[in-house]
């Protein structure tokens, strides 16, 4: 079973994505901030990361750049409610940038693209 590390500080997003991706046959590990995400990235060896950007403490782009230093082969999808971070060239380290919406089909499609 492919493992997704889901990094988001919002409880409601965690609940929704957990349910959706587990229903689709993935196992999901949660992290609620950047520091926790980096620890779990090391410890849990996920197959893919879904990463929020605006979080307390380290933001998602800082976390992304640290993750890619550790292992550039694990795909990371930035998932943000904001388009603006697309102007941050640090976001180029990501494999996909998906703007959050009520319909998570685009995110699911991106996940399938990388880990089937």
Q: Which is nearer to another protein, 14 or 59 (CB)?
A: 59
Nearest to 41 by CA among 58, 54, 17: 58
Residue written as token pair 């999808």: 77
Contacting another protein (CB under 8 A), which of 88, 101, 109, 113? 88
| CA–CA dist 46, 80 (Å, integer) | 20
Q: Please report whether residue 100 would count as binding another protein according to CB under 8 A.
A: no
Number of residues that bind another protein (CB under 8 A): 19
Q: Is the dihedral of CA 1, 101, 72, 5 positive or negative?
A: negative
Q: Which is nearer to another protein, 17 or 85 (CB)?
A: 85
Shortest distance in whole angstroms from residue 56 CB to another protein: 15
| Alpha helix (H) residue ranges in the chain | 11-23, 34-44, 60-70, 105-115
Q: Which is nearer to another protein, 14 or 94 (CB)?
A: 94
Residues that bind another protein (CB under 8 A): 58, 61-62, 64-69, 72, 86-93, 97
């Amino acid at each position: 079973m492919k493992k997704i590390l889901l990094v988001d500080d919002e409880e409601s997003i965690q609940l929704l994505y957990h349910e959706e991706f587990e229903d689709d046959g993935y196992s999901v590990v949660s992290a609620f901030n950047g520091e926790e995400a980096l620890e779990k990235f090391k410890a849990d060896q996920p197959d893919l990361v879904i990463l929020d950007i605006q979080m307390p403490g380290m933001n998602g782009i800082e976390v992304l750049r640290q993750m890619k230093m550790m292992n550039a082969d694990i795909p990371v999808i930035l998932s943000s409610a904001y388009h603006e971070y697309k102007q941050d060239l640090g976001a180029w380290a990501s494999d996909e940038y998906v703007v959050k919406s009520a319909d998570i089909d685009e995110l699911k499609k991106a996940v399938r693209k990388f880990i089937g």
